[in-house]
């Protein structure tokens, strides 16, 4: 048996990689559903809103490291796995941060939804309820804890690729008769979750280190992901035209005859599957702003597309949203004549934006619905006097102010 004197950290600096072998297995297995114990499994079916407690287990390393394991690192492929279903998410409870990190140096640089800059170890923007340690940890209770005495573990939770590391003393742990526990991960199926979520490991960041006959080596074990089937997916919108939160900055009606209205009354939604059989009863019209509520006069389906026609054109200073009831997703279209820069406010900054676009200083160029304020069909110098009149006279803002509410979210999940 090779000599094993000296601190374990020194040994880890000179580890030689070893080819992956079938004997060692690193697995993620569900052990509880909604707090009730189940037979450990890597495949299960749940419902939206369910909470699944899973354990990371290591087994069968006797062939690869016959003289013992010293360190285990298991990195969850969460960035991909927690969103791998047909819809929704299966995030660890306690996660209140963007799915992809937003780096920060202080809280002033963070967006309003994630206003706090986390501790120095992570330096990323998080929400007020961000407590990932609630659902990613290594517990010390026997009989199958990997290392004693506790604590001898570390869980890194700066990103959704959670990294678990546990270490024994330098002599190494011999092969056990049962799988050894590495850590716990608790995830929750979102209310709109559906399809199959596959939560596994990052291959090149999941390994074991320890002793074989030749010395200290690193081994990449076989990896067993957890597959969670959530109830069958319902069709849901994946795109809309006009795009969600699109603002029509063109004049909304004839300045000399307000009964001649120009704004759209049509929205096209693209769904995740065929729209055959959908009717207007599957949708709801919601207006964020003031004025009369339109109704749906007809729908036309073709493949994965559905065209929804309202009984009246959308009104200025409003968001008119069409919600698909079953998936709870909506597409919203707005009208704010003169709001060339899409800030939600009609102001002189819009004049400068239009002028810059005419001088080809805006890249990419403004869309037709931003710069064609007079509805001539093209973006041209004639749009400038129309915009100046809009800013000065507030034609479409009586009574004022010339603002548009914040665009509603397309759905409550990212």
Higher pLDDT, 144 or 304: 304
Whose CA is closest to 246, among 346, 319, 311? 319
41-56 average pLDDT score:
95
Full-prediction pTM beyond 0.85? no
Residue at token pair 């963070």: 110
b/e sequence 305-323, b meaning 16+ C-beta within 10 Å: ebebebeebbbbbbbbbbb
Instruction: Kindly indicate whether the domain formed by 237-393 is annotated with CATH number 2.60.40.1130.
Output: yes
Distance CA 41, CA 51 (A): 15
Task: Note whether 27 and 41 are within 8 A (CB).
Answer: no
What's the pLDDT band for 8 if we cut at 50, 70, 90?
A: very low
Looking at the chain, the whole-number percentage of residues with pLDDT higher than 70 is 86
158-184 average pLDDT score:
79
> pLDDT tens-digit profile of 240-280?
999 999 999 999 888 778 788 899 999 999 998 899 999 99
Pick from 66-80, 170-184, 221-235: least confident? 170-184
Helices (H), 337-382: 348-358, 368-371
Residue 62 burial (10 A CB sphere; 0-12, 13-18, 19+): middle
pLDDT at 221: 94
The domain limits of the chain are 8-96+131-230, 237-393
Higher pLDDT, 1 or 83: 83
What's the pLDDT band for 228 if we cut at 50, 70, 90?
A: very high
Higher pLDDT, 153 or 15: 153
> pLDDT tens-digit profile of 295-347?
999 999 999 999 999 999 999 899 999 999 988 889 999 999 999 999 999 99
For every residue of 60-109, which 3-state class applies, written as one string? Answer: CCCCCCCCCEEEEEEEECHHHHCCCCCECCEEECCCCCCCCCCECCCHHH
Class of domain 8-96+131-230: mainly beta
- Mean residue pLDDT of the chain comes to 85
pLDDT greater than 70 at residue 140: no
Same fold, 8-96+131-230 and 237-393: yes
Distance CA 306, CA 177 (A): 59
What's the pLDDT band for 27 if we cut at 50, 70, 90?
A: very high
pLDDT greater than 80 at residue 289: yes
Q: Do you find a cis peptide bond into 143, omega within 30 degrees of 0?
A: yes
What's the pLDDT band for 29 if we cut at 50, 70, 90?
A: very high
């Amino acid at each position: 048996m090779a000599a094993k004197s000296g601190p374990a950290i020194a040994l880890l600096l000179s580890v030689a990689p070893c080819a992956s072998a079938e004997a060692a297995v690193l697995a993620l297995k569900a052990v509880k559903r909604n707090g009730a114990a189940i037979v450990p499994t890597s495949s299960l079916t749940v419902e939206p809103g369910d909470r699944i407690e899973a354990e990371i287990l290591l087994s069968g390393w006797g062939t690869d490291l016959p003289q013992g394991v010293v360190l285990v690192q298991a990195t969850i492929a969460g960035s991909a796995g927690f969103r791998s279903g047909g819809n929704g998410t299966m995030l660890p409870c306690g996660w209140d941060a963007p799915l992809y990190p937003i780096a920060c140096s202080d809280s002033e640089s963070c967006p309003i939804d994630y206003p706090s800059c986390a501790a120095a170890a992570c330096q990323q923007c998080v929400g007020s309820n961000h407590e990932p340690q609630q659902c990613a940890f290594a517990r010390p209770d026997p009989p199958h804890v990997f290392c004693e005495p506790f604590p001898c573990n570390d869980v890194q939770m700066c990103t959704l690729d959670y990294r678990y590391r546990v270490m024994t003393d330098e002599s190494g742990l011999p092969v056990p008769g049962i799988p050894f526990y590495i850590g716990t991960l608790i995830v929750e199926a979102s209310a709109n979750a559906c399809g199959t979520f596959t939560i596994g490991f990052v291959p090149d960041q999941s390994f074991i280190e320890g002793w074989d006959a030749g010395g200290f080596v690193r081994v990449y074990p076989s990896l067993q992901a957890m597959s969670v089937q959530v109830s069958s997916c319902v069709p849901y919108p994946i795109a809309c035209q006009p795009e969600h939160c699109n603002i029509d900055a063109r004049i909304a009606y004839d300045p000399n005859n307000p009964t001649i209205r120009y704004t759209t009354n049509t929205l096209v939604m693209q769904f995740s599957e065929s729209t055959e059989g959908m009717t207007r009863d599957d949708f709801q019209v919601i207006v964020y702003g003031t004025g009369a509520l339109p109704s749906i006069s007809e729908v036309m389906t073709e493949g994965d597309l559905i065209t929804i026609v309202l009984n009246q054109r959308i009104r200025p200073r409003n968001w008119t949203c069409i919600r698909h009831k079953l998936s709870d997703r909506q597409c919203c279209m707005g009208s704010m004549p003169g709001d060339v820069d899409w800030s939600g406010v009609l102001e002189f900054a819009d004049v400068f934006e239009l002028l810059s676009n005419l001088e080809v200083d805006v890249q990419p160029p403004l869309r037709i619905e931003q710069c064609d304020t007079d509805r001539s069909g093209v973006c041209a110098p004639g749009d400038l006097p129309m915009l100046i009149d809009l800013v000065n006279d507030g034609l479409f803002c009586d009574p004022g102010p010339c603002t548009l509410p914040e665009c509603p979210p397309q759905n409550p999940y990212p």
